[in-house]
Amino acid sequence: MQTCTELCPSFTSGYQCQSQAALDFALEWIPGYRDWKRFDPGPDRSIDERYAALPVTSKAHIRNHFPDGLRPLGRTLQAGLNAQEIELVHTSGTTAERVSLPWNQSWWNASEKAAWPLNSVTARLPLGRHPEAILANPISVGFRSDDHPLSFAERRSDRFLFLNEKSDPLSWDTAHYERMIRELQEFQPLILEANPSLLADFAHYLIDHQRSCYCPPVIVLTYEFPSRLFLRAIRQAFACPIVNSYGSTEAGYVFMECEAGHYHQNTAFCRVDFQTLSPTLGTPRIGRILVTPFQNPWLPLVRFDISDLARIANPQTCPCGRSDGWILETLEGRAADVTLTLDGRPITVNRLDESLSDLPGLRGYQVEQVTHDTFHVQVALAPSASAGLVSNIRQRLESLYGSPLCIDLNQVPRVPPEISAKNRLAKNHLELDPLTFMETPHA
């Protein structure tokens, strides 16, 4: 069985030079990384060996060194704010997930620009100053107003139009959906960027009410795991290419989905390492993603744990012809959202989604593992769903996790978002440490 470390992606000499420069700079000039020197085997070893010997930067590490421990010596947060080079942003989520970060817009824009050529559709569009509509939760991005609607002008920012100001998508009503239809027609964005779950909800409205809508040249999905259920609805409502981008506030644009459905590394702006799951678990080529961003003058992280798992393509080739950097076969979802079968095998979010998402009439779900054999499940069904769908869902879950299970299954109009404002397909209460599944838990 081939593991991630045995696969051989193609890297340019420039990429390896950037990797070395980023590491050497961090160990020498970043206070929060100076004590990592004791882990570094030194310049006589390969750059890959040096990175593999280092610890991992967690969100706790970022919090513990805030505000200036992860800034280069001589740079302070206040100086950057005063010079308007950065602004302070706060990520959402549980307490363990939240961090405060310096946001450098010019670096983010450059990272985004470098990712566009990784898909043939975005590569040929005149991007840069293009009009872009964003359908997201305002907790993540945009302008929030829960007590009254904001006008078109109040939701504009430069070339961006934010279609939604409500933090609770369950409060969307007919007027809200119709306003989005009207504004997309008026604004005619070159790109519609969206949370997959929110755009799928909008797509269900269009489908159920037989409404047509402006179709942009491309839809770019981001912010959360793109369930096949969501993609099915979006494709039914919008006849345009759909591209999934992958990254984070801390790491920038890390991977971009190509026209062949693989994910390609944005090698100009980040290094990626993988910490593999043990092959004995029946999860070949799956590992957690560790990112070292390049060229960020205000947050030069090393081996940042982006908290997600991915499956590496084997071989490291793609029908699209791109060969630079790591190529992913699939995104597997958050490491913290791994659930367990009755015999202790890990089930990734992607594996769960693969098991349920082909069921006709299922529009949304959340599987919450309370104990090893007890699950709370929420499902949202289409009006046309068959009478036997709920029974089929139970059967699929027992086929995946084992039998017998105690399944408390509830039907809801829509699955509510988490406190992070993101849709979450799986949760567990088992206090799992993802490192227990890793082949190299102390890397």
Question: What does the pLDDT look like over 229-262, one tens digit per residue?
Answer: 999 999 999 999 999 999 999 999 999 999 999 9
Q: Do domains 4-335 and 339-437 have the same CATH topology?
A: no
Residue type, 302: V
pLDDT mean values, one per 10 residues, the chain (443 residues): 65 95 96 96 95 95 90 88 92 72 94 97 94 95 95 96 96 97 98 98 97 97 96 97 96 97 98 87 85 96 96 96 97 94 94 97 97 97 94 97 97 91 93 72 35
Which pTM value belongs to this model?
0.94
Q: Tell me the C-alpha distance between 410 and 189, whole Å.
A: 38
Burial (CB count <10 Å: 0-12, 13-18, 19+), residue 84? exposed
Distance in angstroms (rounded) separating the CA atoms of residues 133 and 191: 6
339-437 architecture in CATH? 2-Layer Sandwich (3.30)
Encode pLDDT of 297-334 as tens digits.
999 999 999 999 999 999 999 999 999 999 999 999 99
Question: What residue ranges do the domains of the chain occupy?
Answer: 4-335, 339-437
CATH tag for 4-335 (out of 3.40.50.720, 3.40.50.12780, 3.90.550.10, 3.90.850.10): 3.40.50.12780
